[in-house]
Amino acid sequence: MKVTFPHMGNQYVATKTLLEEFGLEIAVPPQCSNDTLSIGTQYSPESICLPLKVNIGNFMETIKQGADTIVFSGSCGPCRFGYYSILEKEILKELGHEMEVILFDPPQGDYKTFINSIFKLAQTKNPIKILNALSRAVRILYQVDALDDAALYKRPRQKQMGEVDLYYDEFHKEVRKVRGYRETSQLIEKTRKQILAIEEDPNREVLKVGIVGEIYTILEPFVNLNVDKKLGEMGVEIERSLKISHWLTEHLFLSPLKLTMEGKTRKAAKPYLKTMIGGHARETIGHSIRYAERGFDGVIQIYPLTCMPEIVAQSIMPTVEKDYNIPYLCLIVDEMTGEAGYTTRLEAFIDLLRRRKEKQENAELLLRY
Amino acid sequence: MTVKIGIPRGLWFYDYYPLWKTFYEELGAEVVLSNPTNKQILDTGVKNTVDEACLPVKIFHGHVFDLKDKVDYIFVPKMMSVYKREYICPKFCGLPEMVNHSIKDLPPLIDTEINFNKSRNSLKKTIYNFGSYVTKNPIKIKRAYEKALKEYEVYKSEIKEGSFPIDGQLNSKEKKQSDITIAVMGHSYNIYDKYGSMGLINKLKENGINIVTPEMMDYKVVNQHASTLEKKMFWSYGRKLLGTAMYLIEEKNIDGMVYLSSFGCGIDSIIVDLIERKARKKGRLPFLLITVDEHTGEAGVNTRLEAFTDMLEWRKRNEGNLSTHG
């Protein structure tokens, strides 16, 4: 059994650790690239959303490395993601790859299947061993998110442009070589310290922008055309509304128990969107409002073409923009997205934010005298 | 003064409108329907909706716009879920919000939430909430609902017998003319909208082809087939379409399948793919997918339909030795 899984931002570091702690042989998919996407686009239905296409690309690339089992997570609607596992299985089957899929659907009262999936993956029924490995993986997840936060903080402030990504890219190369919790954890910590030690330019005016939208496109740098790096080097500090560590805790552990960490966000979104409608539409709206309240300079929404929940959010966002007086930009990505046009739009938006901020500051100065 | 309630001729309209119409008329309200979809409605819809939305949602916005200045309330319920553990579509779930934020100066919306995802216990309360816009008398509401339900059953059985609600008007049943039967698949709001579907059903009928639609199926059979799926289909429209297709492919009592989908439909992107795979592999059934959006040219669709029906005829004559990958 050689296990693989699809990419989604930094999630692979934690999943890799988890599977290694279970003692499994794994195939980590190569970093998403244009090759991945073109393989995926070739075999996926035309009008499906982008994440599935990249997933298929990931699987095809790992099948070449000998993978025969897929670990995947799911949901129960109303977003399309819930049916990904079935469709992916069908596509791979048609291509002649009978893959075993170990699926982690949110247990809608059916804990037996869920627990059996865990047993199957862990290849042991010893709950202590399983919990141990799980807690280690979750710790890695939080650590890697902390590393990300450090990079997001430093990028706009670094004196020598590109220094953060020097360490950051190095980390992604190195982490594929290390094995197990201890080594991975040490590597993350080392990189985080390196990044935090980078010299800052004290004179730089840093703007703050919130990134909202569909979770996969926010997190996967290949799909969002490295929006963190692009904005970071324009002197913008970004905050992502969704993090994989939060998603995991929220969906696998809290929501079956009817608990949530998003109470505040939901409350903020309530006047605009009363109920959940699948995906992260409500979070998109709620987080935008909270960013506005926290004095952010702007909000950028990113989502894959035809994403149903985000379309609803997009039609509500102009009202939020007006009510909270916060500039808003919507970027939609698919396999046809051209990088130049995308960058131009980002640059124009950031220019606008800078001009706006200057104007506001000048107005304040004038008022003072 | 009677309350004027406007029902837009779009989306769930084709499934439920006799129910709502009778319900509100029994309560003493005046029900105003928007005009059947036409160019103007489509254009205002496109202008007032986000670019990314699918054609039926844009058309729906056009219908709401059409009713805007004519009525006291516009009926846009928040349809979350009509069956247990199923949803409709994220866009249906957020429809009242979408409409409200896209079109300015609207009269108040009747945006009561319909959510039977957990259980049907809230049915009575939901009905009362709908009725409370006209009267606060629960007995009157209950009676109106019962009457409406009867009307709705009649409507459903009419469709089952083969009279299609094109633009909401049940047309006359026609006798069997040819030996070719095609299943016209797709969401009810796509296939029964004459303008949006470019008269697909009428065109096929004019060619003397018998038509089967998902609404004509026996729900028990459909559900039975859908329940054999590996994972529960959590979209109600999806379950109906997939179940119907599985049944038809297994029974082999049709000659071909035409699927009318709208560009950007998330449900169709999965359902169409699954159906197409099944149709080609299991049943070796000719399958045609027509995707429409606001730019679709009618000539192109006509050509494809003609080619498809020609192929079916040849296939029948030549005992089906032609490729199914048409």
Is residue B247 domain-shared with residue B285, that is, in the same domain? yes
Which residue, of B125, B159, B193, is where some domain finishes?
B159
CATH code assigned at B87: 3.40.50
Measure in Å the smallest separation between the Cα of B231 and chain A Cα atoms.
7
Instruction: Find the closest chain B residue to A75 by CA distance.
Output: B234
Residues B149 and B168 in one domain: no
- Which residue in B112, B234, B263, B268 has the most chain A C-beta atoms within 10 A of its own C-beta, making it the best mutation to test that interface? B234
> Does residue B152 belong to the interface with chain A, where contact is any CB pair within 8 Å?
no
Q: Same domain, yes or no, for B131 and B20?
A: yes
Same domain for B242 and B126: no
Residues 189-218 of B with CB under 8 A from A: none
Name the band, by pLDDT with cuts 50, 70 and 90, for residue A56.
very high
Please give the angle made by the CA atoms of B127, B26 and B65, to the nearest 5 degrees: 75
If asked whether residues A225 and A250 sit together in one domain, one would say yes
When mean pLDDT is compared across A28-32, A329-333, B177-181, the lowest value belongs to: B177-181
pLDDT tens digits along A224-242: 899 999 999 999 999 998 8
Contact A47 B265 (CB under 8 A): yes
Q: How far is A268 from chain B (nearest CA, A)?
A: 15
Whether residues A142 and A237 share a domain: the answer is: no
Tens-place pLDDT, residues B212-251: 888 888 888 888 888 888 888 888 888 889 899 888 888 8
Domain co-membership, B147 together with B207: no
H or E element in which residue B249 lies: helix B236-251
- B96 and B193 both lie in a single domain: no
**Region A332-360: what's the mean pLDDT?**
91
User: Which member of B53, B235, B270 has the closest CB to residue A78?
Assistant: B235
| A180/A229 same-domain check | no
A296 contacts B121 by C-beta, under 8 angstroms: no
Stated length of chain B: 326
- In this structure, the answer to whether residues A237 and A296 fall within a common structural domain is yes
- Residue B283: predicted pLDDT: 67
Is A309 in CB contact (< 8 Å) with chain B? yes
pLDDT value of residue B119: 79
Same-domain check for residues A21 and A89: yes
Residues B181 and B49 in one domain: no
Q: Are residues B128 and B227 in the same domain?
A: no
Subunit contact A314:B52, Cβ cutoff 8 A: yes
- Cβ-based contacts of B93 with chain A (< 8 Å): 78, 275-278, 312
Q: Which two tokens stand for residue B168?
A: 């909401």
Phi first, then psi: give them for residue A75, nearest 5 degrees: -150, 180
Q: What spatial distance separates the first Cα and last Cα of chain A, rounded to whole Å?
A: 73
CA–CA min distance A69, chain B (Å): 18
Looking at the partner chain, which of A74, A79, A306 has a beta carbon nearest the beta carbon of B269?
Answer: A306
| A196 and A225 assigned to the same domain | no
ipTM rounded to 2 decimals: 0.86
* Gap between the Cα atoms of B116 and B95, Å rounded: 17
Taking CA–CA distances from B104, the nearest residue in chain A reads: A319
Mutate to test the interface with B, among A50, A72, A75, A83 (most CBs of B within 10 A): A83
Q: Would an 8 Å CB–CB cutoff place A94 in contact with chain B?
A: yes
Shared domain for A47 and A125, answered yes or no, is yes
- Asked whether residue B112 falls in the same domain as residue B167, the answer is no
Interface check for B236 against chain A (CB to CB < 8 A): the answer is: no
Same-domain check for residues A87 and A149? yes
**pLDDT score at A329:** 94
Query: B143, B159, B175: which is the final residue of a domain?
Result: B159
Q: What is the CATH number of the domain that holds A235?
A: 3.40.50.11890
Span A342-358, mean pLDDT? 93
Residue A7, CA distances (Å) to A56, A58, A134, A186, B318 in order? 10, 7, 19, 22, 50
- Predicted pLDDT at A120: 82
Distances (CA, A) of B70 to A301, B98, B106, B176, B306: 36, 20, 11, 42, 41
Residues A72 and A127 in one domain: yes
A126-176 pLDDT, tens per residue? 888 888 888 898 899 999 999 999 999 999 999 988 899 999 999 999 999
- Which residue ranges in chain B fall short of pLDDT 50? none
**Closest CA in chain B for residue A270:** B97
Domain count for chain B: 2
Interface contact flag, B101 A316, Cβ < 8 Å: yes
Q: Is residue B55 part of a domain?
A: yes
Distance from CA of B181 to the nearest CA of A (A): 27
Write down the pLDDT at residue A335. Answer: 86
Please tell me whether residues B130 and B171 are part of one structural domain: no
Task: Out of B102, B133, B159, pick the residue that ends a domain.
Answer: B159
In a domain, B322, yes or no: no
Given a cut of 80, whether residue A75 has pLDDT beyond it is: no
Flag if A80 and B266 touch (Cβ within 8 Å): yes
Residue B176 is predicted with a pLDDT of: 60
Mean pLDDT lowest for which of A52-66, A256-270, B137-151? A256-270
pLDDT of residue A77: 67
- Give the range of the structural domain holding residue A68, as residue numbers without chain letter: 1-154+157-201
Domain assignment present for residue B31? The answer is yes
Is residue B144 included in any domain, yes or no?
yes
If asked whether residues A185 and A334 sit together in one domain, one would say no
Predicted local confidence at residue B325, as pLDDT = 61
Q: Do B123 and B265 reside in the same domain of the chain?
A: no
Residues of B in contact with A99 (CB under 8 A): none
> Within this chain, do residues B154 and B194 fall inside the same structural domain, yes or no?
no
- Distance in angstroms (rounded) separating the CA atoms of residues B79 and B91: 9
Number of domains chain A contains: 2
Residues A228 and A186 in one domain: no
B324 in a structural domain: no
The CA-to-CA distance between both ends of chain B, in Å, stands at 59
Could A47 and B268 be called an inter-chain contact, meaning their C-beta atoms sit closer than 8 Å? yes
Containing domain of residue B79, as a range? 4-159
Question: Phi/psi class of residue A6: alpha, beta or left (left: φ > 0; alpha: ψ in -120 to 50)?
Answer: beta
**Structure confidence at residue A144 (pLDDT):** 92
Q: pLDDT confidence of A107, banded at 50, 70, 90? A: low
Cα A103 from chain centroid? Answer: 20
Is the domain of A87 the same as that of A211?
Answer: no
